[in-house]
Each structure stands twice: as structure tokens, then as C-alpha cells.
Chains A and B, each alone.
Chain A
Amino acid sequence: MNENIIEFRNVSIDYPLRKYTIRAVTDVTLGIKRGKITALVGESGSGKTTLSSSIIQCISEPGKIASGDIVFFDNVDGEDKKIVVSKFKEKEMKPFRWKRVSMVFQAAQSALNPVMTVEQQFVETLLAHGEDKDKQKQRARCKELLEYVKLDAERVLSSYPHELSGGMKQRVMIAFSLLLNPDLIILDEPTTALDVITQSYIFNLLKQINREKNISMILMTHDISVVAKFADYVGVMYGGRLVEYGKVNDIFRKRRHPYTEGLINATPSIIGDIDKLKPIEGSPPDLMNLPKGCIFSPRCPYAQEVCVGEEPSEICLEDGSKGRCYFFKERDNGRK
């Protein structure tokens, strides 16, 4: 069986605007491992949402895949089947979305329809996907899922979104994403607006779903602490590039890409030495006015002459990690 469930192959994504075009994602090649949790970490505007939502063709208007392919590996009776989902017409995408890949959008708060009860919304989705029309069975399925995310199912089913707290709404959205038994769930900053205690519950819940139901996950976040706690693999995004990818443990130990190192060093924690922290100088890249060469070079403390010439291409190492930095191979800040 292919160990990847999704592969991005040299994917670039554009937003053609009236006067100019924004390239939000540039040449990303990335495999999402089956059954694992892959985090995409990066600051706002780094292209996380654009990249992930392209899997189910939900890039916000007027975004378009400019080049590259997205491949989904289906597994039918032990046989690998390769499906190029980026070539799907809407007619083909419709049964794929929610059934094979579901997404919990950022601001899940507003993703729910304010004038429908939770039950009505669940049932509508079940019907739209031609699921069982038996009312009893539908209700039982909804109840089962809401109880699974530790909600008071009876009460929540008859509630309108405004009657639920932020943490409850987020759990409703997670239950919703499980409705059609998908193989992969995409989670866009699922806890950004929530408090740490609620966040902790939600992550424990997601980890449980990942383990018990063997559902693969893509988790987008700007918080590297969340990556450390939750993910198996991580892709670091900067200015629309995937600048580093590897196992979470390796990334934290080796910090090969200078941006990854900078992010880790700039993240305060409740333990450890405060004096060792330092900010990344400069400001995030402006996609309309990217620097020459490596786009991190103006902020990079290790930049050499070569870095401001051509943009570095991906360097892949034997252990499966890779990164866009001229010195990716040599740099290994292994912790003592």
C-alpha cells in the first residue's frame, strides 16, 4: 500500500486579481502519510489554507491551481488506485468531498448555518450524499457522533449555533467532519479562537479519532507548540513555499532550516530558559515583492552570497526530510 494518502506534486496556486496575480503557493511537493497527523505550520499568509483547501477544490475565489497535480491514493481490496483529484470536474468532486476528505474550516463558528438546528444541518448533508433516508437511522448516526465528541447529543441536536459555546461549536464541526466516514480530515486552525483548556480537550479528542478510526489528518496552525504536541510529521511554510518537511521529532532536534530554527527560538514556553529566546528580525515576506534568491535571505542570520542569487531548490535527505536552503544538508543543530 502506498504510504501516502495524498501527494501534492509541484503544485502552484494563483489568485488572479484585476491588476496583478498573487502566487500564494509555489511549487509544493508533499506527501501526506496515511493514518498519520501531518501539520502545516506557518505564519498568516504563508499559504496553508490555500494549499490544503485545494485538495477538495475549495480554494477561495478567484484562486486556481496554476500548475502541478494532486493525487489521492485509494485502497480498494489491497490494490492501490491512483486518482488525480486536481483534474476532477465538480461532478466528480462532489461525492469525494466529505466522503473521502472532509474539512473543518477556520472560524468553524461561522461555518454553521445560523438559522438551522444542528440536526437539520447534519441530515441535510446526509441526504445530499444519498445516504440512508431512514429518519431513525439518521438520528442515531448523528447522536453517536455527537456523543463521540463528548457532547450532550439530545440537547445539541435541537440547538441553533448561537446557543452553543465556541468549544461546543468546534466539536460539532469535528463530529460533522466524521459524518460520512472520511479517510482524511483537514483541520484549519481548529483551536485558534479557543482557550487552552478547550484546546487541550479538542486535541485529545482528535488524537483519539486518529488512533481509533485510523483517519489521516492535516492540521494547519501558526503555533509550533501545537505541532510538538500533536503531529507526527510537519511541513513548514513560508511565503507560499514548503521550506522544510520531516518528522516532528527530527525537525525540533535538528532545526535544519534557519526559518524553522527561528520559529522555535522565538516561541515562548512555560518551561525552559527565557534568555535563550530571540525574535526573527525583519518582517514576513510580501508576496507581491519577494526578495531575490532565497525568500528568507533578508531575515536569515546564516545568509551567504549564494543565497541572494538563485532561489534554492529542494534538497531531499535519505531520512525522508527535505528543505529549501542551500545549507540544508550540512545544517544540523542537534541538541546536546
Chain B
Amino acid sequence: MREAITVIGASLAGLRGVETLRSDGFDGRITLVGEESHQPYDRPPLSKQVLAGDWEPDRIHLAAPDRLADLQVDLRLGQRATGLDLEAHTVEVDGVAERFDGLLIATGAQCRALPGTGHLAGVHTLRTLDDCLAIRAALEGVPRRLLVVGAGFIGSEVASVAVDRGVEVTMVEALPVPLVRVLGAEIGTTMADLHRSHGVDLRCGVGVVELVGEDRVRAAMLDDGSVVEADVVVVGIGVVPNTDWLESSGLDLDDGVCCDATCLAAPDVTAAGDVARWDHPRYGRSVRVEHWDNAVEQGIHAARRLLQTDEEATAYAPVPWFWSDQYDRKIQVAGLTHPDDEVRMVTGSPEEGRFTALYGSGGRFNAVFGMNRPRQVMQFKSLIDQEATWEEALAYARELG
């Protein structure tokens, strides 16, 4: 019988995990450790409503204070886990070893930095509330020329908010087409057009050689020889999972904490959210997913796993899904695209600003992309879940008309 469960990472996956432990009837001790000093908060608004100044930070709590009290959790904010001893079943928090019967690892990810830019003021990444407020303040200053490095989803959302606030935006992307590896050239081009039609100076296929300035950033030198002047730089070139504290734990680490299909990383230890890599039965390989909905679902699954026996445990096999808000468009993707995929536009068109596109290869239906098409994305997501074939997906699309 477990008496004490510790959750490391007091954000989305960790908190949903704690809620699940309680709703599943666990009445032992729960400790939730989080490095950030803020009450657990939601990240998507950091590149949307909060960055835009439409919402203040008090609107993004993940749980109301009375809800946290109800959960009877020993919430330890501003504390960092620094080590794990699997044998002894202890986790080191701020230098003190504490025993656990079950451990949920939910330490998320952090932004990759642009090498050699640490000394310059005005250069930001966006992961935390503090990052968000710093960028928000910077965009209020004058003159305001923003350079976004990387045309991924976060960079694109930042560009979109900044344009809305009247900031002059340049976006530099090393790939020839934004998001080409995830979305393919056709849909990636649609995303590029969206930025350009809103006045963003988007430059693809070029890299940043160096950011220059004395104390503050002043400009960026690009590898095509051009120079972009900027007062503020936001770097959005991906994230790395927070596994540094587990380096000597003996856990299998490979771009994330490696787990089996049930989210178990070692006996009595599970992982969830951005930090977790697990064997996904649907894909026959391990995946790590950096989406909000996955942090929720996996947080629930991995917490429950700690209360289950090996016989009771079930595989975690979701269809990945995420959304991104850019300008007046809601972008949603469900499933995982494959490099060999054919892309078929099935309803609407980019010109209308509203369409659905399907991805499939080898007779398999792999993914759906929607722009302002939430209902259809969810309908096709269900088909992916049922492992519909490419032909079945296209037939369903014809029915929708």
C-alpha cells in the first residue's frame, strides 16, 4: 500500500496528476514540488491573451486556491528537485533526501537558447509567466522593432500578438518553409502567407549568425549577409525536456524520460507531459509530445498508474492534438504526420481562411490539419483513433461535402 506520493513539477501534468490521485481515492500524503514560485498557471495564454495585455496573470491559475486546499497537498513552490535515488526511493529536494512510495515526474521542458546571446538584454525566450511579462513590457517600449527567431508555433503566436499591437515584426526561419517538417510544404506555405498578409517580414531559409549590441541587442546578422535591426528579440527554436536533475538516477533518458507503454519509467516511478517519452502502441515507437492536451491526459494516466498493479495498468495511446491561435485563425492538428504523407485539402481553401486538410500515406490516415475548422478536426480525430484507412477518411470527407 502506498502512503506517500511525490509529484515533481507543479504545472499542468503535475497538477492534473494530483487531482487524479485524489479523485481516484488516494488518501495518503501528496507532495507537489515546483521550481517556480508562482501558483500553478496555464501556459498557452502566455503567447496569447496575457502577452497581448488582454488578460492579467490572475486569470491563468490552473486551480483556484480553495481547490488546492481541498486537494490536501503539501505544495512546495520555489523548490527544486536535484536528484533521484531509485534504490532508496528518495528524491532530493533542495539538497534534502525525501522518501516516496510513488513518484510522478512532470518537470516539463525549457526553451532552447540561441548560443552566445546570454549577455545581451532584450533577447528573450518564452516559457514562463516571467518571460511573458518581460516580453510584454519590452513590446510597450519605443522604438519597437521585434525580431522573432524561428517560425514555429510559439514564435508565430508572438509575431501575431505583436503585429496586433502595432509592432514592426521580422521573422527569420532556417527552414525553407515554416513548419515544413510537421505540416509539409503546402500547408507550411499557407502559414507563411498568413504572416506576410499581416505585414510580417518573414525570411525563410536563412539563419542567424550573430546578435549584436553592446549591453542591449541592436541587430541580427543573418547568414545571407543581411542585417535586421531589432529592439527586442524573441527566440522560439524549440524546447528541451527538463531531465538534467535525473542525469545520475539510472533512469533511461533519451530526449525525455523513457517510459513503457503505461507511462512507467521504473518501478513506482512514472512520467507525464512535455518531459515524458513513452512507447506509443499506435505508432510502434516512442514519442514525446509537447501539447497541452497531452499534459492533461498523460498526467491523469501516469498518476493512475501509480495506484495500479502491473496487471491493472493500461497502455497510454492517445491521438496527439493541439491548437494554436494566430491572428484571427484557430489552427488545430490531430494525429502525427509522416514525411511520406500525401496532403489532401478536403473542405474550404486557404483563400477563404477556413479549411481542412488530411495527411496519409501507405493507405493509412495519419493526421488532420484544420484552420478555423474545429468541428471537422475533432471528427477526423475520431477516425484516426479508430484507425480508419486513407480511403475511409476520404470517403468521410466526401460525405461532409
Instruction: Judge: A and B partners, yes or no.
Output: no
